[in-house]
Amino acid sequence: MNLYERFLLPAFVTSACSCSPIDKQRQKIVPAAEGVVLELGFGAGLNLPHYDAAKVRKLYALEPSPGMVKRARDRVKSAPFDVEILTETAENMPLGPQSVDTVLVTYSLCTIPGAVGALESARRALKPSGRLLFCEHGLSPDQGVERWQKRIEPIWKVIGGGCHLSRDIPALIAAAGFRIEQLDTMYLPKSPKWAGYNFWGSARAP
């Protein structure tokens, strides 16, 4: 891990992912989490203010980046429920089968190298009655925007720590064995279209 990835990248990602349009998207999905929750890509803990504390018993905050974990620790201290930070990757997380009620992932599937594998691991940890809640940016349905996404993506991945602009989020979720039960999409206001096409909703493991 170089100096940019350890010190500058966490600050850049935290700033970009805390802007008002993205924060409003978080408000649409995070409060639905309940029970024992596994959050993939916890980052600096930007979702914490949006959880419904009356519904959450415990949060497993999965975040393998040391720089992000350092930023998250202060937020975790003031959380109104128990938060346990897991520094493993999703493929190596120490949770047993059918041990969580909700899996939450927001603005992380764009960056996780093996996104399908991470979702498969999360599916194994999810109880049969549980749900996957997601809110992500990704592949635009408009061909002109898609072309720009793929042109910019190689440079953007370097700047954004591996962030992909053109991942087909519903396809990734389906490939991991989930069945999407609710899906909404839109371009975020005040964001460039090549970075602002959003998917959010819920899925279950059939």
What integer pLDDT is reported at residue 98 of this predicted model?
A: 96
Q: Burial level of 24, CB count in 10 A (0-12/13-18/19+)?
A: exposed
What integer pLDDT is reported at residue 6 of this predicted model?
A: 65
Q: How far is CA 155 from the centre of its chain?
A: 21
Residue 106 near residue 47, CB atoms below 8 Å: yes
Of 178, 161, 68, residue with least CA distance to 122: 178
Q: Specify the amino acid at residue 111.
A: T
How far is it, in rounded angstroms, from Cα 110 to Cα 93?
19
pLDDT digits (tens, 9 = 90+) for 140-183: 999 999 999 999 999 999 998 899 999 999 999 999 999 999 99
Q: Specify the amino acid at residue 44.
A: A
What integer pLDDT is reported at residue 1 of this predicted model?
A: 56
Q: Which residues pair with 84 in a beta bridge?
A: 60
DSSP state of 85: E
Q: How far is CA 81 from the centre of its chain?
A: 20
Q: Specify the amino acid at residue 136.
A: E
Q: Is the pLDDT of residue 7 over 60?
A: no
Lowest pLDDT segment from 28-37, 62-71, 97-106:
62-71
- If you average pLDDT over every residue of the chain, what do you get? 94
How far is it, in rounded angstroms, from Cα 104 to Cα 73?
19
Q: Which two tokens stand for residue 22?
A: 């993205």
Q: Is the pLDDT of residue 104 over 60?
A: yes
How many residues are given for the chain?
A: 206
